[in-house]
Each structure stands twice: as C-alpha cells, then as structure tokens.
C-alpha cells in the first residue's frame, strides 16, 4: 500500500467525480418549471456560455503565447526547466476552464429547478440549490486532485530514475508540475477579473436605471439589463469563483509538495532519507490530505438539509455549518493519523538563520490546526465587520443620516479598521506555524484551510444559484411565496460568501508565503534582504501593484456600468410599451455590453500581474524579485481585506433599511434620505467586494507562482552580484584552495584555505571539513563564497581562484 | 575656518532668525484694517492660541512620561544611550512647538492685514501674505538648524574626547542627538493629527449645515462654525504643517549625519579617517547644506513679487515658482562646491552584500540631484492627478453625472492610479541614489529635497493666510473686489499645497529609508531578511499600521463633524434672529467642540505609532522591528499618495463646476445634480487629504526614529536568536576558542578556532586574523556567530564557549 500511496488521492478524486455525476443527474432530473421559467433559465445559460466561450477563445491566445515562451525557456542552456512544463501548463489551463464550465452549467440548470422546488417547500429548494453547489464543489476539488496526482505520477516516472540526486530530480518534477498550477492560476485570474467586471457592470447598470431612475424592482423583466445581471451572477460568482478556488487549491498543494521536497533534503543531511512511501512521504502528504478532504466533504454534504418548511435563515445557516464543520473535523482527524503515518516521528528541519532543529512530526499537525483556527477566527472577524446588527454596520447606518459623504467615510473607515485583527491573526499564523514546523508548517496550515474546498465551494456556490432562482421566480411572475423562500437562501448565501472571503484571503496569503519560501529555496539565494537598495526598491514597486490592479478593476466597472446605464436609458426611451410590459426589451444588447467590456478590460490587469515579475526577475535578479513578491503580498492582503470588508459592510448597511433601523431614536426605512445615502455606499462597495477585492487573492498567488516558474532562469547568482564583485577596485587579492583527501571513499577530509589580501593586510581562513564522502561533498558544494563543485568521481573541479587586482 | 565649520550653520541660522524678525516687524507694521476686521482676526487668533495652549498642556504630559522612560533606558546597563538624550528630547519638543507657535501667531496677524492690503492692490496683498509665510518658513528652518547645530556642538565637546574610537563616540553623540529629532517628530505627529481633525471637523461641519442646508455662503458671519473653520485653517494648515516640516527637516539632517558617521567608519578601515573639518566632514556636510539652504531661501523670497494689479493666478504662480527655483538652484550650486570641498575626492564605502567600493565624492552630488529631480517629477505627477482640466479630474467630473457613487468610484480609482508613477519614481530614487553613494546618497537625496524648506514653507503658508484673509473680508463685509483678490491668492495656494505634498511624501519616505539604514547599521544586525518568519510576520503588521491610523483619523473627523453639525443646527434653531443677522451666533461653542474632539482623538493614533515599534522591538528583537519599519514605510507611502491625490482630485472636480464644465456635450454648473455628487466626493476627500494623508509622512518617519532611539537596547543579538540556539536538541557541541597575541601593541594576530561536533562528526573552522591591533579588534568584535568582545586593554573577554548537549 505505502509505496503506491499516490493512487489514494487518484482513487478519491475519481470517487468525487462519480459522486458529482450522480448528483448532476439527480439535479437535472428535477422538474424545471413552466415554459417561461425554462425560457429565462435558457437565456441566462446561453448568455453565460456565450461569455465563457468568448473568454476562453481569448484566453486560448494567451495560453498559446505563454506556452511558446515556456518552451523557449525550457530550451535555454543551464536552465533546469523541462519542456514538459508546456503540456502541464496547457492542462492546468484546460482543467481550470473545465472546472468553471461544469460549475456554471449546473448552476444555470439548477436555478429554475430551485425556483420550481421552492413552489413545494424550502427544504426541497435548499436540496436542489445545494445539490448544484455540490456538483460544482466536487468537480473543482476532484479535477484539481486528479490532475495534480496524474501529472505528478507521470513526471516521477519520467525524471526520478535518472542520474543525479533524489532532491535534484524531484525538483525537476515539481518545477514541471508548477506549470500545471501556473496554467490554472492564470486562467483563474482572467476569469475572476473578467467575471467580476461583467457582473458588477450589469448589476450597477441595472440598479442605477432600474431601481433608482425607473423605480421598478430588482430582476423585473421590463429591465433590459436584467438577464445580463443574472448572467453576471453566474460568470462572476460561479465560474469566476470556481476557477479561483481551483487555482488556489492546486497552488496550495503544489507549494506544500515543493516544501516537502526541501524537508526531504534537510533530512538527507547525513544519509539519504528513506521511507515506506517510495521515499517521498512528506511530498505525498499534502495531496493525500486533499484527497481525504474530498471524501470528508462528500460525507458533509449529506448533513446539509432542513426538515421544517417554516425554517428561517438561522436554520439554513445551521444546516450548512453542520455539514461544513463535520467535513473539517473529519479531515483534521484523518490528517492526524496521516501525519503520524506518513512522516518520520522526528524530523531534522533547517530553519533559516537558526540551523537545524529536530522537530516531532506532530508539530506539522499543530501547524494545520493553527491554520484552521486562524482561518476560522478571520472568518469571525470578517463576519463581525460585515454583519447586520453589529457595531461596524450600525456605525455606517448612523452615518448615513448625514448623507452619502459621511456614509462613505464611515464605510471606508470600517474596511480599514477590519485589517487590524485580521492582519494580527494572519501574522500569528505565519509565526506560529513556522515556529512549529518551518515553512512546511506554513504550507500545511494553508493546506488544512483548503482541504475541504469541495464543501466550501458547495456552500459558496449555492448562494448565487438561489439568487438566480429568485430572479427566475421574479421574471416569470411566480407566487411571491416562492421568492420569499429563495430570498431566505439568498440571504444565507450572502453571509457564507462574506465568511468564505475571509477564509479565501487567509489561505491565499499563506499559500503565497509557502510559494515564496519555495522560491527562495529554489533560487538558492541567501534570503531576501531588504537592506539591499534594489530589493527595497522592488518591495515598494510590489506594494504598488495591488493598488494599481484595484484601480484598473474599479475603473473598468465604472466605465462598463456607465455604458450599461446609457443603453438601458436608450431602450426605455426608444422601445414602445416597454414599461407597460407589452414591448420586449433587447436583453441581448445588454449582455453584449457586459461581455465586451469584461473581455476588453480584463487584459491589462492580467498582463501586468504576469509580466511585471518576469521583467523584474530578468532585469534585477532573484533577490529583488523576492522583494517584489513580498511587497505584492503585504499590500495585497491589506487591500483585499479593506475592499472585501468595506464592500460587505456597505451592502449590509443598505440592507438594514429594508427591515427598518433606528437612527437617533427614529425608525428609518427604505426610501428615506438615509437609505439613499446607503444605496450610494453599496454601489461604491460593489466593485470593491466583487471585482477588485477577491482578485487580490489570485494576484498574490500568481505573482509568487510566476516567480517560482522563472526561478530556474534566475538561478542563485544574479547578474548584479557578479558585477558587484568586479566593481571592487581596491587592491584585493583572494585565493581559494581546496584539498580533498579520502583514503577509503567512505571518510574524507577537505581543507579549504581562503587567503584574502586587501591593502597589504592578509586574512587567512582555513576550514576543515571531515565526515563521510557524501557529507563532505555536500558541504563543499554548499560553500557560499567559493565556487567549488565536487563531481561524482570525487574530483574537485571549478575551484575558482578569484584574483582581483586593481 | 575648516575646523570650526559647525559655526557656519549656526551663523546662517541666526541670520535666518534676524531676517525673520525684520519681516515680522514689517508685517505687524502694516495696517490691520477697521475695528470689525481686527475683532474677527482677534477672535481667530484667540481660538487658535487657546487650542495650541490646550494641545501643548496635553503634550507636556506626554513629554514628561516619555522623558522618564528615556531616562530609565539611559540608566540600563550595557546600553549606550546617554541621559542627555532627555534634555535633547525635551528641547526638540519645545523647539517644534515654538516653530508652530511663531508661524501661527504671524499667520493670525497677517490675515486681516492681507485683507486690508487687498483693498489697495493684489501685489500688496501678496507681499503681506507671503511676508507672513516667510516669517514662518524662516522660523522653522532656522530653529531646526540652530537647535541641531548647538546640540551637536555641545555633545561633541562632551563625548568626543573620551576614551574609545571616534566612531563609537560619534555614535553616542548622534544617538543622543536623535532625542532632539524624536522630540520634534513626536510633537509634529500630535500637532498634525490634532490640527487635521480640528480643521476638517470644523470645515465639514460648517459646510454641511451652512452651505448645503441653510444655503449661506462660505465664511458667512451668520454661521456659528465659521470662526472655528478659520481657526482650523491656522491650527491645521499652519501650526500642524509647521511642526510637521520642522520634524521632517530635523530628521532628514540627523539621518544624513548618522550615515555620514558610518561613511567615516568605512573610510577608517585601514587607518582612522582624517580631514580638515575636525575629521567630521561627512557628518557636517548635511547641516551646512541646510544652513546654506536658509540663505538661498532668503534670496529667493526677494524674487516673489508681482507688479501688475490686474495679475491673475498664472502670474502669482510664476512669481512663487521663480523664487522657489532660484532658491533650489542656488542651494544646488552651493552643494556642488561644498561636497567637493568637504568630502574626500574618493571615498571607500561599504555596500551591503557587495563589499567595499571606491566612489568619487561627486556621486554624492549626483545623488542630491536625483533627489531633487525625483522630487520635482513626483510633484509633476501629483499636479497631473489633482489639477483642474487634466484627464483624471475630468474623469471624476464626468462620472459625477451618474451620481455620487460613480463620482466616488472614479475618485478612489484616480487616487489609486496615482501611486503608479509616484512609486516607480520613488523606487528609482532609492535605487539610483544608493547605486551612486550608498545610503549616504539616499540621505543626501532627501536632504537636497528638504534644503529649501524655508522657501517651501513660505510658499505653503501663504495659502492659508490668503484663505483666512478672504474669510476676514467676507465676515467684515468688505468690497467684493477684496475677496476676488484674496481668492486669486487662495487658489494659487491650493495648487502649491498639492505640489508641496508630493515633495513632502517623497522626502519623508527617503528620510525614513535613511533612518532605516541607520537603524540597521546601528543595531549591527545582518540586514533585514524577510525570509525569516518573524520578520515577515512583522512586515505584515507594519503594513497594517498606516491603514489603521488612517481609519482612526477618518473616523475621528466623521465623529467630530457630526457633533459640529448638530451644534450648528441647534444654534440656527434656538438663537433668535441668527439668520437675519440680528442675533449673534455662539462661535465659542463650535470652537470648543473642535478643540475637544481634536485633543481627544489625536491620542490613540499617536500612541499606536510610538508604542507599537517599542513593543515589537522588545518582544521580537531588532530584525523583526526592521521588518515592521519596512512594512510601515511601504504601506504608508501607498496610502499617503492614494489619500492625498484622491482628496486633491475630488476637491478640484468640485471646483470645476464653479466655472462650468462640459459633460456629454452639455455645460454643467454649480447647483446641478452632478455638482452635488461632486460635493459629496469633496467631503469624503477632505479628511483624506488634510487629516490622514499628510499624517502618513510623520507616521513613517517617527516609526523609524523610535526604532533608532531604542536600537541600543535591542543590540545585535535579539532574544529570539539566543532562544533558537537553546532549542537545538540534537547532540551538537560547539566550542570556540580565541587566541589574541600581540607583541608590540601595534600588530596583532588572532586565531579563532570553532569546533562543531554534530552527530559524531566534527567540523573545525580556523580563522586567522592579522593586522594592526585596532583592525583585529574590530574584526573580532564583528564576528557573527561568536560572542567575542575585546576591551580597550586588548583583553579578550566573554569568549562564549557554547556547549549544547541533549
């Protein structure tokens, strides 16, 4: 069993896909409602698929260009990247698109069926909508685990038998596998940004003219932008989010595997590490945990149901929470045994700047617990800052009474303030999981957060389905009771979405850090020292990128929304009988505006994200690129939390007026001046929380992934360091001699003599290294200042005698 | 001459003060207008002085507590801080308060006199208002140079003769001098935040009720908040800014001096550096340049005048530009000769991670040029994003037509986008000036930007004086012609204020980096490596601080403004005849609200800024604190640029409607819906650009200063490193032996033997160090892994034999 461990995640992924298919068939078998409902559902589906096809066509061009570039890199001399990174990259992109596509198809099938089910009862409506969510969640998670496992197995068979050390060969395996993650994450970025622009352009446009100017309700069929609005929910909240989480999930597992390889290297210090799992337990662990997470999620989905037709938000929320926590706890219990089984009891791990420490493998489990605990706490913080009835939202409500300006100031302040606890928790997670188990611990903390992605996504995706079901109900003029039921589901969906965002940014940031750690170790640089001016400069440049990215995303939404407003105004003006319900609005024109705007506007931010790290790496070298990555992460985390929470708080401040709220002792309702001010805040918050905010996750992960993929080109020695050496104009002479002696090929002794003569004075360093030949070789090769290489025949080669004279 | 160089800046500072006095006498001699005008001016002056006294009383408590803490630190064993840091700290605080006070007194004298002068002509009004600005500018700059020079001279006489190396003693001098800067910067922080809250609470409150609800013009005497509003201009824009720039100026010069000391250390590698300037040319250079900047500014002020009474904004702007550029160019020319004279022709400078390089002293001049060029370019970028008629402001105007929400989205996007060019320029400044002349170059780049502070401040301060003059004219119902003339000056003042902000944040950030460099070198840590988890965690925490700081500042303004609104509404309701001009509003109550709010609300952000770095330093050690500083700087720069420029752009988008602006082919004016949307944006922008935005400058400098001051407590070895050592649970044995032999006290030889036995295998490192006793001592003391200290009698002490066994 142990030596074929890789088949476990494969089997679990296939199980997940089979369960997904059953669920899909079940959903499709549900009654789809009357003709009108089916027509609307079809229109939404067609609009969404049309957008996805257009998006994929455009992205295909990007994938081709990127593939050529990757192939070119793999042909460079002295670069370890294998050309197989290209098929891995393309597959990652296709899998990501597939994951989004499956989710969107089922979501657009499930919306009318949920509405139809809501005619019968709320429990049935939850069953259908959550069924749709489950299909998507399992599809994403299973495809991710399957793709990663298969490629890993294949690459291991290709590269691991060849000449050279286990570590070096495994590095090639993982570096090639990074292509899969890069493909997935690139598509995720475009899908998230494109979907985000699409949905908010349609939403803001539909609301500004429909609700505010014409005074017709949300999702009214007379509003020409209403189909676009519902399409937007699917391409943004479903397909965009699916691709996003697919990318996150793959990146997290990949980063953990890379760090597992370093762990093996650390443990091979004295003699090559071996275990029952083909000597790769620490590498396989994260992907096995991911597989188990799929199983736990399937079990969890069975618990999500309610019995009572009179149930309200609280009961629905409870059912979701139950399923979610059962999945999490099951995964955690399984992780405990897996860690105990798959890792050696104590592990020798190198801590940067502190040398080697022996740590018990259980520390890895505690790291995972820290990850989950901090993820949960960040969700609590997020919920506090964005929930109805809590102080932050009430503050915004109160400030709405003096107008839009004070509402906006209050909302911005809430978003900013919410960074405090979140960032402290996040810093504690880094610190704690690192102290326990190094960067492998940080990666496993992220993996623990992401393990139940299938369940998380099922919960996240059921919201937009319910939202759409409400739209279908409204547009097909069903009994208001139906809408009330879907509204309950929708409202719960809003809360879970906000909480999910807290989890998402926390896991994304930890993943980014794990990738960052992998990058540093991979390039062989001596850490990222921001006391170097170029590194510091790039830290600032990195800090600026999330700000620019957000600016571009917001501006795109603003532009597209204005176009939408003008088109809707035109149709109201020009189509006779539209307001009386006798004329048919041209829905397709609005869909078209959103589609074009989204496709056009997603390009620039996407390219900035991908190209900037490449330029910085090539021009300034590996360490400044590390500074850039850190800058993107630090700034990205702040702006993500700020934007997500400000947007969520504004949204709920506006919603507070629906039930009525007390301001300065007076009850205030919808339609009041204060409510209008709150609507303004909500509109500002829309692109914050649904376009730029969630894109930050992908931005930081993708930045670190790009760095990891180009790491082999950068190598340990950046140009700049070499130049620096040559710039020394003083009278300095440095000589290095290495004597390696070995009597029996088992024990060896090396004497490294470094003589530095500078301005007439001499410093001589002798270093004597004794031990087994393997160890002495390893230590000689690791010597920092000298370019010593010992080949497999134990001959010292390339002893560089650097003699620099004026 | 050379050996008494320190008297040059002292003489120039005294010259500056004398010129200031002459100018002050001249301004006071100008006619102060009729009784009503004098009464209003008096009311403003009294309100402002009352606030300042209350503020200073509160700050006195802070100064006492901080002094006690500093004194306590200086009594700690093994800590180099001298108790004289306490008087230096107190003097810094007093000088800073004095600088703000002088400025505010003259500004409140000059306002009515400017209004009176405007009765005659525009040139005369400019002369009086700019005269007031000149008094303030010269007061601030001269006091800064005088205080720094005198303390430096005194500390040199105290510490430099004593036992020990020049470098060590000079470090004590500068560490003690840092107290002066810390005092100045602390007061600046409170003054800036307090003043910022005061002025915006009054402004927003007065506008929301006066302009919007009651429909009376700005500065109408019937508005109870109008005096508070005018007081606010003085305590925020004059006293707050004066203290801010005083602090910046001192910090910049100090940082350059500290780095000058490191330069001397670098150049003393082979033999102690000597020059004609008592061996401290590189340390004296920055302060001499500052002194020359005062002289150049005085010359510049003579050029600021216009002849034509029909002049408009452009001519006034041109006159100011002429004076400004002449001062800059004169300073630059003088710097060229001073650098040539005061620095050795080539300098041996250590570049972190690259070893020593020989650089020509002229590189320092080029660094200064880079500083000025980048400062000027950042001002251009700032002007582009915030000026009337440019694309960004027009974008906001256009987006105002679809309501407040799109106006806000557009404004936020403009602010975010403006970070792009600014940050790239800033990164280029770091990179370029560092490449040229290391961190000394970075510091000199900042010094060059700050050298003409006197002139900059004169230009900045004349704006609020003109603004106030307009207020006095309005309230005393003078001829509208008077108001037109002061409006011209006010409008120019707005532009110069925006441009000045670009300069301020650029110089603040460079100063912070110079302080950061001084901190790293001072603590003796091996750079700031963000690949260490604790350093990385603190980078995130640092990144969060500016966001929280901004949130608190914005929230304070919101709260105080709401109180103000309610008070003004109450007075309108309860005081009979107030709207007819027969009842007198209770101005004092509004002044009181602003005063109390400002004092109360400035405390928390101020304490967060000062206490957080202390806690992090003590708990986590020197390197994590460095990560924190970097986080504050990176995030602070982004948020400063974002907030300043978004605020400036909103302001001018609103102003665009005053002259009328074309939106979608239609001319739109004041009073339109689009204009109302723009007013909302402007109100949101007010605390951005006048409270939280400008506070970022001080936040980042003060953070680095606090770090520098507590550096001696942290030392090179943080607790965490020691702990790490003890956590090694393997069977590791490490022995270090040091043999220091010297025959003649001149040449010496040290052999350092390190034997590490780990898991049975032994590695032995021998290091032989030969050279003069001084050099060998220095190198031994610098050994990283071993705690070797060589005392002045050349006895090796504290050779730590670390034996760690399981």
In a domain, B690, yes or no: no
- How is residue B584 annotated by DSSP? P
**Mean pLDDT, range B171-182, rounded to an integer:** 91
Average pLDDT of chain B is 85
Whole-number Å distance between alpha carbons of A51 and A160: 42
With b meaning 16 or more CB within 10 Å and e meaning fewer, what string describes B94-124? bbbbbbbbbbbbbbbbbbbbbbbbbbebbbb
> Which chain B residues have a beta carbon less than 8 Å from that of A439?
533
Contacts of B438 (CB under 8 A, 6+ apart): B259, B263, B349, B350, B351, B359
Q: pLDDT at position B801, please?
A: 42
Q: Do residue A663 and residue A770 come from a single domain? A: no
DSSP one-letter string for B74-109: HHSTT----TTHHHHHHHHHHHHHHHHHHHHHHHHH
Residue B133 has pLDDT above 90, yes or no: yes
Could A638 and B761 be called an inter-chain contact, meaning their C-beta atoms sit closer than 8 Å?
no
Q: Do residue A143 and residue A232 come from a single domain? A: yes
Of residues A352 and B245, the one with the higher pLDDT is B245
Q: pLDDT at position A154, please?
A: 93
Domain limits for position A565: 2-272+283-719
Find the CB nearest A729 among B358, B528, B534. Answer: B358
**Mean pLDDT, range A777-785, rounded to an integer:** 64
Could B404 and A404 be called an inter-chain contact, meaning their C-beta atoms sit closer than 8 Å?
yes
**Tokens (6 digits) for A265:** 């290297």
> Which chain A residues have a beta carbon less than 8 Å from that of B399?
558, 562
Q: pLDDT at position A742, please?
A: 57
Could B352 and A532 be called an inter-chain contact, meaning their C-beta atoms sit closer than 8 Å?
yes
Find the CB nearest A413 among B555, B770, B775. Answer: B555
- pLDDT band for A615, please (50, 70, 90 cuts): very high
Query: Do residues A587 and A43 touch, judged by C-beta distance below 8 A?
Result: yes
Q: pLDDT at position A369, please?
A: 93
Between β-strands B666-668 and B661-663, what pairing exists: parallel, antiparallel or unpaired?
antiparallel
Q: Any idea how long chain B is? A: 806
Q: pLDDT at position A496, please?
A: 82
Residue B82 has pLDDT above 90, yes or no: no
Whole-number Å distance between alpha carbons of A243 and A573: 39
Work out the minimum CA distance from A393 to partner chain B, whole angstroms.
14
Work out the minimum CA distance from B424 to partner chain A, whole angstroms.
6
Total CB pairs under 8 A between chain A and B: 322
> Which of A177-186, A313-322, B66-75, B353-362 shows the lowest mean pLDDT across its residues?
B353-362
Chain segment B180-229, per-residue pLDDT in tens? 999 999 999 988 899 999 988 888 888 878 877 777 877 788 888 888 88
Chain segment A517-563, per-residue pLDDT in tens? 888 877 877 788 888 889 999 999 999 999 999 999 998 988 888 88
Chain segment B507-519, per-residue pLDDT in tens? 888 888 888 888 8
Of residues B616 and A769, the one with the higher pLDDT is B616
Q: pLDDT at position A731, please?
A: 46
Work out the minimum CA distance from A127 to partner chain B, whole angstroms.
38
The CA-to-CA distance between both ends of chain A, in Å, stands at: 65
> Which chain B residues have a beta carbon less than 8 Å from that of A404?
404-405, 680
Could B427 and A631 be called an inter-chain contact, meaning their C-beta atoms sit closer than 8 Å?
no
**Mean pLDDT, range B495-505, rounded to an integer:** 78
**Tokens (6 digits) for B535:** 């350093």
**Mean pLDDT, range B706-733, rounded to an integer:** 53
Whole-number Å distance between alpha carbons of B193 and B59: 13
**Mean pLDDT, range A714-736, rounded to an integer:** 42
Whole-number Å distance between alpha carbons of A456 and A293: 11
State yes or no: ipTM above 0.90. no
Work out the minimum CA distance from B8 to partner chain A, whole angstroms.
33
- pLDDT band for A798, please (50, 70, 90 cuts): very low
Whole-number Å distance between alpha carbons of B33 and A327: 80
Residue A673 has pLDDT above 90, yes or no: no
Contacts of A705 (CB under 8 A, 6+ apart): A178, A181, A182, A185, A251, A515
Q: pLDDT at position B396, please?
A: 93
Q: pLDDT at position A749, please?
A: 66
Find the CB nearest A420 among B531, B548, B684. Answer: B548
- pLDDT band for B795, please (50, 70, 90 cuts): very low
Residue B365 has pLDDT above 50, yes or no: yes
Q: Do residue A705 and residue A784 come from a single domain? A: no
Could B413 and A442 be called an inter-chain contact, meaning their C-beta atoms sit closer than 8 Å?
no
Could B550 and A416 be called an inter-chain contact, meaning their C-beta atoms sit closer than 8 Å?
yes
Total domains present in chain B: 2
Whole-number Å distance between alpha carbons of A365 and A436: 9
Chain segment A330-342, per-residue pLDDT in tens? 999 999 999 999 9
Of residues A51 and A78, the one with the higher pLDDT is A51
In a domain, A803, yes or no: no
Query: Do residues A598 and A197 touch, judged by C-beta distance below 8 A?
Result: yes
In a domain, B598, yes or no: no
Q: Do residue A694 and residue A771 come from a single domain? A: no
Chain segment B721-738, per-residue pLDDT in tens? 332 333 333 445 555 556
In a domain, B354, yes or no: yes
**Mean pLDDT, range A625-649, rounded to an integer:** 94
Q: Do residue A708 and residue A746 come from a single domain? A: no
Q: pLDDT at position B312, please?
A: 82
Q: Do residue A603 and residue A738 come from a single domain? A: no
Q: Do residue A68 and residue A129 come from a single domain? A: yes
Of A719, A754, A786, the residue at which a domain comes to its end is A719
Q: Do residue A78 and residue A187 come from a single domain? A: yes
Work out the minimum CA distance from B778 to partner chain A, whole angstroms.
13
Work out the minimum CA distance from B645 to partner chain A, whole angstroms.
13
Could A680 and B532 be called an inter-chain contact, meaning their C-beta atoms sit closer than 8 Å?
no
In a domain, B568, yes or no: no
Could B539 and A638 be called an inter-chain contact, meaning their C-beta atoms sit closer than 8 Å?
no
**Mean pLDDT, range B779-800, rounded to an integer:** 52
- pLDDT band for A717, please (50, 70, 90 cuts): very low
- pLDDT band for A372, please (50, 70, 90 cuts): confident
Whole-number Å distance between alpha carbons of B463 and A196: 44
Chain segment B683-704, per-residue pLDDT in tens? 899 899 888 998 998 899 999 9
Residue of B208, B407, B536, B539 best to disrupt the A interface, most CBs of A under 10 A = B536
Q: Do residue A339 and residue A371 come from a single domain? A: yes
DSSP one-letter string for B624-673: HHHHHHHHHHHHHHHHHHHHHHHHHHHHHHHHHHHH-EEETTEEE-TTSH
Whole-number Å distance between alpha carbons of B716 and B521: 10
- pLDDT band for B356, please (50, 70, 90 cuts): confident
Whole-number Å distance between alpha carbons of B356 and B645: 41
Find the CB nearest B530 among A356, A530, A770. Answer: A530
Tell me the Cα Rg of chain A: 28
- 3-state DSSP assignment of residue A785: coil
Find the CB nearest B558 among A353, A399, A550. Answer: A399
In a domain, A362, yes or no: yes
Please give the angle made by the CA atoms of A530, A534 and A535, to the nearest 5 degrees.
Answer: 30
Find the CB nearest B537 among A270, A430, A554. Answer: A430
Work out the minimum CA distance from A317 to partner chain B, whole angstroms.
32
Of B503, B527, B551, the residue at which a domain comes to its end is B527
- pLDDT band for B757, please (50, 70, 90 cuts): low
> Which of B8-22, B184-198, B231-245 shows the lowest mean pLDDT across its residues?
B231-245
Find the CB nearest A540 among B270, B423, B551. Answer: B423
In a domain, A802, yes or no: no
Cross-strand partners of B768:
A764, B751
Residue of A345, A540, A601 best to disrupt the B interface, most CBs of B under 10 A = A540
Chain segment B319-342, per-residue pLDDT in tens? 998 999 999 999 999 999 999 999
Q: Do residue A713 and residue A733 come from a single domain? A: no
> Which chain A residues have a beta carbon less than 8 Å from that of B420?
544, 548
Find the CB nearest A730 among B358, B539, B550. Answer: B358
Could A762 and B775 be called an inter-chain contact, meaning their C-beta atoms sit closer than 8 Å?
no
Between β-strands A666-668 and A732-742, what pairing exists: parallel, antiparallel or unpaired?
unpaired
Could B403 and A728 be called an inter-chain contact, meaning their C-beta atoms sit closer than 8 Å?
no
> Which of A268-282, B607-621, B760-774 shows the lowest mean pLDDT across its residues?
B760-774
**Mean pLDDT, range B74-97, rounded to an integer:** 87
Could B412 and A779 be called an inter-chain contact, meaning their C-beta atoms sit closer than 8 Å?
no
Please give the angle made by the CA atoms of B428, B430 and B431, to the nearest 5 degrees.
Answer: 65
Q: B158: buried, middle or exposed (CB in 10 Å: 19+, 13-18, 0-12)?
A: middle
> Which chain A residues have a beta carbon less than 8 Å from that of B630?
530, 536, 539
Average pLDDT of chain A is 85
Chain segment B427-445, per-residue pLDDT in tens? 999 999 999 998 899 999 9
Work out the minimum CA distance from A773 to partner chain B, whole angstroms.
12
Chain segment B40-73, per-residue pLDDT in tens? 888 888 888 888 888 898 899 999 999 999 898 8
Between β-strands B789-790 and B732-742, what pairing exists: parallel, antiparallel or unpaired?
unpaired
Q: pLDDT at position A804, please?
A: 44
Find the CB nearest B540 among A416, A417, A426. Answer: A426
Q: pLDDT at position B145, please?
A: 96
Whole-number Å distance between alpha carbons of B92 and B70: 14
Work out the minimum CA distance from B83 to partner chain A, whole angstroms.
30
Chain B residue with minimum CA distance to A765: B767
Q: Do residue A10 and residue A48 come from a single domain? A: yes
Phi-psi domain of B663 (left: phi exceeds 0; alpha: psi -120 through 50; beta: other): beta
Query: Do residues B69 and B614 touch, judged by C-beta distance below 8 A?
Result: no
Q: pLDDT at position B802, please?
A: 43
Could B684 and A721 be called an inter-chain contact, meaning their C-beta atoms sit closer than 8 Å?
no
Q: pLDDT at position A507, please?
A: 81
The percent of residues above 70 in pLDDT, for chain A, comes to: 88
In a domain, A456, yes or no: yes
Find the CB nearest A763 among B430, B684, B768. Answer: B768
Q: Do residue A364 and residue A432 come from a single domain? A: yes
Could A430 and B533 be called an inter-chain contact, meaning their C-beta atoms sit closer than 8 Å?
yes
Of A719, A749, A764, the residue at which a domain comes to its end is A719
> Which of A3-7, A646-650, B10-14, B104-108 shows the lowest mean pLDDT across its residues?
A3-7
> Which of A176-190, A405-419, A500-514, B593-607 shows the lowest mean pLDDT across its residues?
A500-514
Chain A residue with minimum CA distance to B637: A540
**Mean pLDDT, range A736-741, rounded to an integer:** 60
């Amino acid at each position: 069993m142990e030596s074929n461990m890789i088949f476990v995640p494969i089997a679990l992924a296939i199980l997940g896909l089979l369960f997904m298919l059953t669920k899909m068939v079940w959903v499709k078998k549900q009654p789809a409602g009357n003709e009108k409902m089916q027509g609307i559902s079809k229109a939404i589906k067609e609009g969404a698929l049309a957008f996805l096809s257009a998006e994929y066509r455009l992205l295909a061009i990007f994938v081709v260009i990127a593939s050529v570039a990757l192939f070119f890199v793999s042909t460079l001399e002295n670069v370890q990247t294998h050309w197989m990174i290209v098929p891995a990259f393309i597959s990652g992109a296709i899998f990501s698109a597939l994951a989004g596509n499956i989710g969107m198809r089922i979501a657009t099938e499930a919306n009318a069926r949920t509405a139809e089910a809501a005619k019968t009862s709320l429990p049935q409506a939850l069953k259908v909508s959550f069924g749709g969510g489950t299909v998507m969640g399992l599809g994403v998670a299973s495809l991710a685990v399957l793709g990663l496992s298969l490629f890993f197995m294949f690459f291991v068979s290709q590269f691991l038998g060849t000449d050279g050390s286990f570590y070096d060969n495994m590095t090639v395996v993982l570096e090639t596998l990074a292509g899969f993650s890069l493909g997935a994450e690139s598509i995720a970025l475009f899908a998230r940004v494109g979907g985000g622009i699409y949905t908010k352009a349609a939403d803001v446009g539909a609301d500004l003219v429909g609700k505010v100017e014409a005074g017709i309700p949300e999702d009214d069929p007379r509003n020409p932008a209403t189909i676009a609005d519902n399409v937007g929910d699917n391409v943004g909240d479903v397909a965009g989010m699916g691709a996003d989480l697919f990318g996150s999930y793959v990146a997290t597992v990949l980063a953990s595997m890379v760090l597992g390889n370093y762990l093996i290297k650390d443990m091979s210090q004295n003699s090559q590490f071996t275990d029952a799992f083909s000597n790769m337990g620490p590498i396989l662990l994260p992907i096995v945990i991911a597989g188990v997470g799929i199983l736990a999620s399937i079990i969890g989905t069975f618990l999500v149901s309610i019995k009572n037709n009179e149930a309200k938000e609280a009961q629905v929320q409870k059912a979701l929470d139950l399923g979610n926590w059962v999945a999490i706890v099951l995964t955690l219990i399984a992780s405990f045994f897996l860690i105990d089984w798959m890792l050696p009891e104590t592990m020798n791990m190198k801590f940067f700047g502190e040398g080697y420490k022996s740590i018990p493998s259980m520390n890895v489990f505690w790291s995972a617990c820290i990850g989950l605990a901090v993820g949960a706490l960040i969700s609590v913080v997020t919920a506090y800052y964005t929930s109805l009835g809590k102080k932050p939202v009430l503050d915004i409500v109160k400030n709405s009474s003096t107008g839009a300006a004070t509402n906006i100031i209050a909302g911005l302040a809430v978003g900013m303030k919410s960074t405090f606890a979140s960032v402290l928790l996040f810093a504690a997670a880094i610190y704690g999981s690192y102290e326990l188990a190094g960067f492998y611990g940080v990666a496993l903390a992220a993996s623990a957060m992401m393990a139940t992605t299938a369940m998380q996504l099922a919960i996240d995706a059921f919201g937009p389905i319910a939202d759409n079901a409400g739209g279908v109900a409204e547009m097909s003029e069903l009994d208001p009771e139906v809408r009330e039921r879907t509204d309950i589901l929708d409202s719960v969906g809003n809360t879970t979405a906000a909480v999910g965002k807290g989890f998402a940014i926390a896991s994304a940031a930890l993943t980014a850090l794990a990738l960052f750690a992998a990058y540093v170790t991979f390039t062989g640089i001596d850490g990222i020292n921001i006391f170097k001016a170029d590194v510091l400069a790039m830290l600032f440049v990195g800090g600026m990128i999330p700000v620019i990215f957000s600016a571009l995303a917001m501006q795109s939404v603003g532009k597209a929304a204005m176009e939408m407003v003008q088109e809707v105004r035109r149709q109201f003006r020009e189509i006779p009988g539209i307001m009386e319900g006798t004329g048919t609005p041209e829905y397709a024109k609005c869909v078209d505006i959103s589609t074009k705007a989204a496709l056009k506007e997603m390009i620039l931010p996407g390219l900035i994200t991908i190209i900037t790290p490449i330029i910085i790496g090539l021009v300034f070298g590996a360490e400044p690129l590390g500074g850039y990555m850190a800058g993107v992460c630090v700034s990205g985390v702040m702006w993500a939390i700020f934007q997500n929470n400000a947007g969520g708080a504004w949204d709920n401040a506006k919603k507070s007026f629906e039930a009525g709220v007390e301001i300065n002792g007076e009850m205030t309702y919808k339609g009041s001046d204060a409510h209008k001010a709150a609507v303004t805040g909500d509109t500002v918050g829309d692109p914050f929380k649904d376009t730029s905010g969630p894109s930050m996750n992908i931005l930081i992960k993708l930045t670190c992934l790009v760095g990891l993929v180009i790491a082999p080109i950068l190598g340990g020695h950046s140009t700049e360091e070499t130049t620096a050496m040559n710039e020394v104009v003083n009278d300095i002479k440095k000589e290095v001699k290495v004597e390696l002696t070995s009597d029996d090929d088992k024990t060896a002794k090396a004497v490294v003599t470094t003589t530095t003569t500078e301005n007439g004075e001499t410093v001589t360093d002798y270093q004597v290294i004794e031990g087994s030949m393997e160890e002495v070789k390893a230590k000689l090769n690791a010597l920092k200042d000298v370019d010593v290489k010992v080949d497999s025949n134990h001959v010292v080669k390339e002893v560089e005698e650097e003699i620099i004279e004026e």
